[in-house]
Amino acid sequence: MPTFSPGLVHTPVTPFKKDHSIDYDTYAKVLEFHIRNGAEALALPMPEGEDMSLTDPELRSLLKFAMEQVKGRVPVIAHVSDAGTSIAIERALYAQSLGVAAIVSHPPYFWHPKPSMVVEHLVRIGNAVKLPFFIFNPPVESVGTTLSTEIVLELIEKLPNLVGVVDAGLDFVFMEEIMCNGRPLRPDLQLIAGADFMVSAGALGGSGVFSPLSSVAPKLVRELFELCRKGQFVEARSAQENIGALNHAIKAAGASGLRDGLAGLKTVLASMGRDCGVPRPPVRSAGEIERGDLLEAIAAMPFLKDEPRGW
């Protein structure tokens, strides 16, 4: 199978109308924004795209719409995760029928299966399609089960189309172990940062990133990515620290403690002229005080002054 290296992957939000239906007119603007602002590939809908709040028909409709809007200008990676293996397989097959470039999947959502069950789940998904397959290691608080080195090594042996691990757990030892033990089994195995903290993955040989913050600061994300791609990790420190400040503000929303990245992300997008509505329940929207704290924190970040406003 030809190697597919996605590089700088933007992970778009899903915009909603006031009645919580998908706003496809705005979604077209979202996709165009990412393509125009440096996305080398798109992965959707990832958690910041609220995939878990979308019905199966909506997931199919959203992916089909994206493929028709993008028109092959950048590769599209379809996110097919689900708690049920058969459901995830159907999503993968549908994505393949649309002509996506690759698929990505977490371990099963919301429960704690044994390692052998995680392996079986992911092997069945990967074997169902003839596409490059990325496995996503999520933060444990997000979906309940993270990957281990042993799981990854077993998947390498069983899945010829497994091309890489997208790691959002930010576990340095895990990333080091899959690279030093996985590369001898699969020399072209890719390590991709699953969040905007690229330096640690890049220092271990990582080759890409799934970037949620590209919705807000695509220039900063590009700067950090290019420095890491060149191996200039010391020089990347300033950009990485700016990413850290932005990430913390969006998740914490200052002293009021919003503690919800989805609401924070959409609040900041609206303030930058790219209103994508509010998250779907049960995720709550930012209250007036929370919104004020967040926007005050954002306004104090000089590195955002050159980022695009509006669409």
Question: Is residue 264 domain-resident?
Answer: no
pLDDT at 106: 92
Would you state the pLDDT for residue 256? 42
- At 225 the pLDDT is 98
Q: Quick one: pLDDT at residue 145?
A: 76
Q: Is the CB of residue 217 less than 8 Å from the CB of residue 246?
A: yes
Question: Domain limits at 218?
Answer: 8-230
Q: Please, which residues have CB within 8 angstroms of residue 128's CB and are 6 or more apart in sequence? A: 89, 92, 93
Beta carbons of 289 and 256 less than 8 angstroms apart: yes
**pLDDT at position 255:** 38
Which residues, given as ranges, of the chain have pLDDT below 50? Answer: 254-259
Domain for residue 221, yes or no?
A: yes
> Residues 49-90: pLDDT tens digits?
999 999 999 999 999 999 999 999 999 999 999 999 999 999
Q: What is the pLDDT of residue 170?
A: 86
In a domain, 170, yes or no: yes
Residue 50 lies in a domain: yes
What was the pLDDT predicted at 142? 60
Give the tens place of pLDDT for each residue, 214-239: 999 999 999 999 999 999 999 999 99
This prediction's pTM = 0.95
In a domain, 236, yes or no: no
Q: What pLDDT sits at residue 252?
A: 77
Return the pLDDT at 144: 65
> Cα dihedral sign for 274, 261, 119, 4?
positive
Q: What is the pLDDT of residue 141?
A: 58
pLDDT confidence of residue 288? 85
Q: Is 2 a member of any domain?
A: no
Contact 258, 252 (CB under 8 A): yes
For residue 54, give the CATH number of its domain. Answer: 3.20.20.70
Task: Report if residue 289 sits inside a domain.
Answer: no
58 lies in some domain: yes
**Per-residue pLDDT, 254:** 39
- Phi and psi of 68, rounded to 5°? -70, -35
Number of domains in the chain: 1
Distance from the Cα of residue 55 to its chain's centroid: 19
